[in-house]
Amino acid sequence: MQIIEQISNLRGEINLWRQQGLKIAFVPTMGNLHQGHMTLVEKAKLVADKVVASIFVNPMQFGVNEDIGNYPRTMAADQEQLLTAGCDLLFTPTPAIIYPKGLDQQSYVEVPNVSQHYCGESRPGHFRGVTTVVCKLFNLVQPDIACFGLKDYQQVQVIQTMVEDLSMPIEIIAVETVREASGLALSSRNNYLNKAEKNIAPALSKNLKWLAQAIRSNDDFVGLAQKAARNINMAGMKTDYIHICHARTLQPASKDDKELVILAAAHCGKARLIDNLQVTLA
pLDDT digits (tens, 9 = 90+) for 102-145: 999 999 999 999 999 999 999 999 999 999 999 999 999 999 99
Nearest to 61 by CA among 142, 137, 166: 137
Looking at the chain, how many residues does it have?
282
Q: What is the DSSP string of 185-225?
A: BP-GGGGG--HHHHHHTTHHHHHHHHHHHHTTT---HHHHH
Q: What is the pLDDT of residue 282?
A: 86
Determine which one of 37, 117, 126, 246 is catalytic. 37
The predicted-structure confidence for 5-39, as pLDDT tens digits, reads as follows 999 999 999 999 999 999 999 999 999 999 999 99
Active site residue 246: no
At residue 64 the predicted structure's pLDDT band, cuts being 50, 70 and 90, is confident
